Amino acid sequence: MELFAALDTVLLSRLQFALTIMFHYLFPPLTIGLGVVLVYLGLRYVMTGDRLFRDAQKFWTKIYALNFAMGVSTGIVMEFEFGTNWSVYSEFVGDVFGSALAAEGIFAFFLESGFLAVLVFGWDRVGPKMHLFSTMMVSLGSIFSAVWIVAANSWQQTPAGHHIVPVYRRGEPWVVDGELMMRAEITDFWAMVFNPTTVIRLTHTLTGAFIVGGSLVASVGAWYLLKNRHIEFARRSLNGGLIVMTIGAFTAAATGHLQAKITYAYQPAKMAAYEGHFETGPGHLTVFGIPDVKNETVRYDLSIPRAYSFLLKEDLNAEIIGLDRFAPEDRPPIWIPFVTYRVMVGIGTYLIVLSIVAVVFRLRNKLYTHRPLLFLFVITVFLSLIANHGGWVACEVGRQPWIVHPPLEWTGGEPGVGDVVVDETGVVQYDETQGLRTTDAVSKAISGEQVLGSLIGFGLIYGLLFIVWITVLHQKIQKGPDISEDADTSSASVEDLLNISSSRVSHSKHMIEPNGGSGA
């Protein structure tokens, strides 16, 4: 019991949040990315009548539904944890952040969950057009969901459209133990939603999701080509996936660059942690290195001189704010953002190179038979997921120690342009009342013992789910799509009709078999 008493609820709650959200975040990029693929396939089927598109849509829908079920059930956890583990944070931000969360429920979740039923179970109950409409609504719902969640997250990073005011209880300002309770209240809803970083963050996040979707499709296509199965389906998958990945990789680089600039303007400490930029001055772009936090330097530094200054300010000699301008208690941890940021950028670069090479091979008609390249595509989906996680972990750990980041003041008034306003010792001053430290945000009424118990529980359950998820995903991909015999026919002949009716017979036979049927 004494051991448990010593357990740190903040640390354990952070670990729990990291575990649960990282596991959850496997699924939203997959469903957002695949949703667009499903819309494309459905649209092509309605436009051309080519059965291959419908078969492909059925195949991907099964994979979508699996990921969706995982995403929904692990997503509720996040909502609960704001209350259970971070109740002081909930009190502080509920008035602002809660609206975005409630809007997500009303505008996004109902849409996607409702129409998901038609997408997954409605093949024989509604016509192709209604089915396509439902597919679009599901995809739209998942994108709306991202909009509200990214808006809420961005508000924590760059708060806007609110003020901080005392809380009232029974008509009086609420004072507990001599401390006046404060909270953030909305003053301007749209300024809150479209806070300075929402749009760029959302663009970058969605791009990441589309890359994941595209690389999953390309990966499965490449796998079938390696195994010499479902050739036509596989070629089209690889082709389509490659197009999405190519556009996505370049867009991600462009939006990533813009996001770096805006991060520097609003959270220069985070940007300095990404780059291991300890000392204010011209910035080098570190390609590789090992941060030495104690001596405030990067060892074995392989860097491009002044490139970081140039990227942020288009000026080789520009002075970039380093970690030395921040008091030790206001500095983010260095290691995690430094490493995960490099993982994201590194994989992003790899994606650009791979896309260019693959497009060249495709144009020379050598892509579908080039085994090493196909193998690279198979593993790329995992790399894309890792890049999404890397970027996101870097972003969230990089804003520490703040759960709600207080704004900074810049000379000249415009963020990122002049210099940060510092006190006489050269250190940036934060207005603590405007922000909330992660250590202060944790629930007071919970014990380390409770959090440890739940953390172990989540670890075990998520471990089990991960194994089953991978197994079932593997089974589905192994089994492959059910390609109709009459695929790729635009006009229905007598034989086609016979084929369809015979497939209906076999179909109804499946209906009475326990666990029968192709997709059960």
Partner 1 sequence: MIAMMSWLSAESLPFVWFTLIGCLLTGYLILDGFDLGVGVLHLFVPKDETERRLSVNSIGPLWDGNEVWLVTFGGALFAMFPYAYATAFPAFYTAFILLLFALIFRAVSMEFRGKMHSKLGRRMWDIGFGIGSFLAAFLFGVAGGNVVSGLQLNERGDYTGSLMDQLSPYPLACGLLIVLLFTLHGAIFLYMKLTGDYQQRIANTAKVSWVLFAIIYAVVTVWTLATVPRATENFADVPALWLIPIFNVVMITLTGWMVWRRIAFAAFLCNSGSIASMVILLAAALFPNLINATDPAMDLRIVDAASSTRTLTIGLIVVGIGLPFVLIYTTIIYWTFRGKTRLESHSY
Are 328 and 317 spatial neighbours (Cβ–Cβ below 8 Å)? no
Phi and psi torsions of 436, nearest 5°:
-145, 125
The answer to the question of residue 73 lying near partner 1 (CB under 8 A) is yes
87 is a contact residue toward partner 1 (CB under 8 A)? yes
- Is residue 482 within 8 A of residue 518, CB to CB? The reply is yes
Name which position in 180, 468, 470, 497 contacts partner 1 (CB under 8 A).
468
Residue 106 sits in the site that holds partner 1 (CB under 8 A): yes
Q: What is the DSSP string of 100-124?
A: HHHHIIIIIIHHHHHHHHHHHH-TT
Q: How far is the CB of 151 from partner 1 (least distance, A)?
A: 13
Interface pick for partner 1 out of 124, 329, 414, 423 (rule CB under 8 A): 124
Task: Give the list of residues 6+ apart from residue 427 with CB closer than 8 angstroms, or none.
Answer: 325, 326, 327
- Most distant CA pair in the chain, distance: 88
The answer to whether 91 contacts partner 1 (rule: CB under 8 A) is yes
Provide the angle, in degrees to the nearest 10, between the axes of the packed helices 371-398 and 268-275.
140
Q: Are the C-beta atoms of residues 120 and 67 closer than 8 Å to each other?
A: no
Beta partners for 176? Answer: 179
Among 18, 43, 103, 339, binds partner 1 (CB under 8 A): 103
Q: How far does the chain reach from its first CA to its final CA, in angstroms?
A: 48
Type and span of the H or E element at 158 = none
Asked if 180 contacts 173 with a C-beta cutoff of 8 angstroms, the reply is yes
Binding segment for partner 1 (CB under 8 A), chosen from 65-73, 212-220, 280-288, 393-401, is 65-73
Site string for partner 1, 166-205 (x = CB under 8 A): --xxx-----x------x-xxx-x----------------
**Which residue do the tokens 């996101």 mark?**
392
335 is a contact residue toward partner 1 (CB under 8 A): no
Q: Does 299 bind partner 1 (CB under 8 A)?
A: no
* Least spacing, CB of residue 300 vs partner 1, in Å: 44
Cis, bond preceding 401 (omega within 30 deg of 0): yes
Yes or no: say if 345 and 323 are a contact pair by the CB < 8 Å rule: no
Residues 132-171 that bind partner 1 (CB under 8 A): 137, 168-170
120 sits near partner 1 (criterion: CB under 8 A): yes
Q: According to the binding rule CB under 8 A, does residue 501 interact with partner 1?
A: no
Rank residues 281 and 459 by Cβ distance to partner 1 and give the closer one: 459
What span, in angstroms and rounded, lies between the C-alpha atoms of 181 and 392?
32
Among 7, 15, 18, 123, binds partner 1 (CB under 8 A): 123
Residues 434-463 that bind partner 1 (CB under 8 A): 443-446, 450, 453-454, 457, 461
Backbone angles phi, psi at 300, to 5 degrees: 45, 40
Residue with Cβ nearer partner 1 (75 or 159): 75
Should residue 518 be labelled a site residue for partner 1 when binding is judged by CB under 8 A? yes
> Given the rule CB under 8 A, which of 58-66, 237-245, 389-397, 425-433 is the region that contacts partner 1?
58-66
Least distance to partner 1, CB of residue 112, Å: 9
Contact range with partner 1 by CB under 8 A, out of 301-309, 416-424, 468-476, 486-494: 468-476
Phi, psi of 321 (to 5 degrees): -65, 130
Q: How far is the CB of 210 from partner 1 (least distance, A)?
A: 24
Closer by beta carbon to partner 1, 187 or else 349:
187
Q: Return the structure tokens found at 518.
A: 């192709």
